[in-house]
Amino acid sequence: MADNQAAPAGDGKVAYDFAAHERPLFEAWRDGGYFQRTPGFGAHADDPYTIVIPPPNVTGVLHMGHALNDTIQDACIRRARMQGYQTRWILGTDHAGIATQTKVDKHLAEQGINRREIGREAFIEACQEWRRDYGGRIVSQIAAMGCSCDYADEKFTMSPEFSRAVRRVFTDWYHEGLIYRGKRIVNWCPHCTTAIADDEAEYEDEKGHLWHLRYPLAEPVGGREYLVVATTRPETMLGDTGVAVSPSDERYRDLVGAKVILPIVDREIPVFADFYVDAEFGTGCVKVTPAHDPNDFAMGERHDLPKINVFDETAHVIEGYSRFTGMSREEAREAVVAEFEALGLLESVEDHDHSVMHCYRCHTTLEPWLSEQWFVAVDGLKEAAARVVADGEVKFHPERWAQVYLDWMENLKDWCISRQLWWGHQIPMYYCDACGWQDASVDPVETCPVCGAPTRQDEDVLDTWFSSQLWPFATQGWAEDGADAPELSAYYPTQVLSTARDIMGLWVARMVMASESCTGQIPFENVIIHPTVMGADGKPMSKSRGNGVDPVQLMADYGADGMRFGLLMQVTGAQAMRFDEQKIEGSRNFANKIRNAARFVLMHLEGFEPGAPEAVTPADKWIFSRLAALVEAVDAAYDGYEFGEMTRALYRFFWNELCDWYIEFSKARLAEGADPADRLACQRNLVFVLDQALRLLHPVMPFITEEIYQQMPVHDAPMLIIAPWPDAAALARLRDEEAERAIEMVCEAVGAIRSARSRYGLSPKTVLDAAVRADEADAALLAGQAALIRSLANVGELAVGADVAKPAGSSAAVGAGIEVYTCLAGHVDFDAERARLAKEQGKLAADVAKLDKKLANPGFLAKAAPEIVAKDQARRAELADKLARVEASLAELG
Q: Is 737 exposed, middle or buried (0-12, 13-18, 19+ CB in 10 A)?
A: exposed
DSSP calls for 65-129? HHHHHHHHHHHHHHHHHHTT-EEEEE-EEB--HHHHHHHHHHHHHHTT--HHHH-HHHHHHHHHH
Sorted by sequence, the CB contacts under 8 Å of residue 291 that are 6+ apart come out as 185, 239, 297, 307, 308, 309, 310, 369, 370
Angstrom distance (rounded) from CA 729 to CA 632: 9
Bridge-partner residues for 372, per DSSP?
183
Q: Is 8 helix (H, G, I), strand (E, B) or coil?
A: coil
Gyration radius of the chain's alpha carbons: 35
- Neighbour order of strands in the sheet with 795-801: 795-801, 768-774, 818-823, 810-814
Three-state SS at 32: coil
Which runs of consecutive H residues, i.e. helices, occur in 476-550? 478-481, 486-491, 509-518
In sequence order, the 6+-apart residues with CB closer than 8 A to the CB of 761 are none
Burial of 526 by CB count in 10 Å (0-12 exposed, 13-18 middle, 19+ buried)? middle
CB 201 within 8 A of CB 358: yes
Q: Residue 130's CB: how many other CB atoms inside 10 A?
A: 19
Instruction: Count other C-beta atoms under 10 Å from residue 288's C-beta.
Output: 28
Q: 493 preceded by cis ω (within 30°)?
A: yes
**CA–CA distance, 74 with 51 (Å, rounded to integer):** 9
> Would the CA dihedral through 134, 137, 138, 143 be positive or negative?
positive
How far is it, in rounded angstroms, from Cα 664 to Cα 130?
57
Instruction: Return d(Cα 42, Cα 397) in angstroms, integer.
Output: 28
Q: Is 882 one of the annotated binding-site residues?
A: no
> Quick check: 496 and 526 in contact, CB under 8 A?
yes
- Within 13 Å and on the Cβ side, how many CA atoms surround 830? 13
Helices (H), 151-283: 160-175
Backbone angles phi, psi at 559, to 5 degrees: 85, 155
**Are 526 and 570 spatial neighbours (Cβ–Cβ below 8 Å)?**
no
State how beta strands 418-419 and 438-440 pair.
unpaired
Order of strands, sheet of 438-440, starting from the edge strand that comes earlier in the sequence: 438-440, 429-431, 456-457
Q: What are the residues whose beta carbons fall under 8 Å from the beta carbon of 330, sequence distance 6 or more? A: none
Is residue 711 a contact partner of residue 598, using CB atoms and an 8 Å limit? yes
For residue 398, whether the previous peptide bond is cis, meaning omega lies within 30 degrees of 0, is yes
| Binding annotation for ATP | 543
| Binding annotation | 543
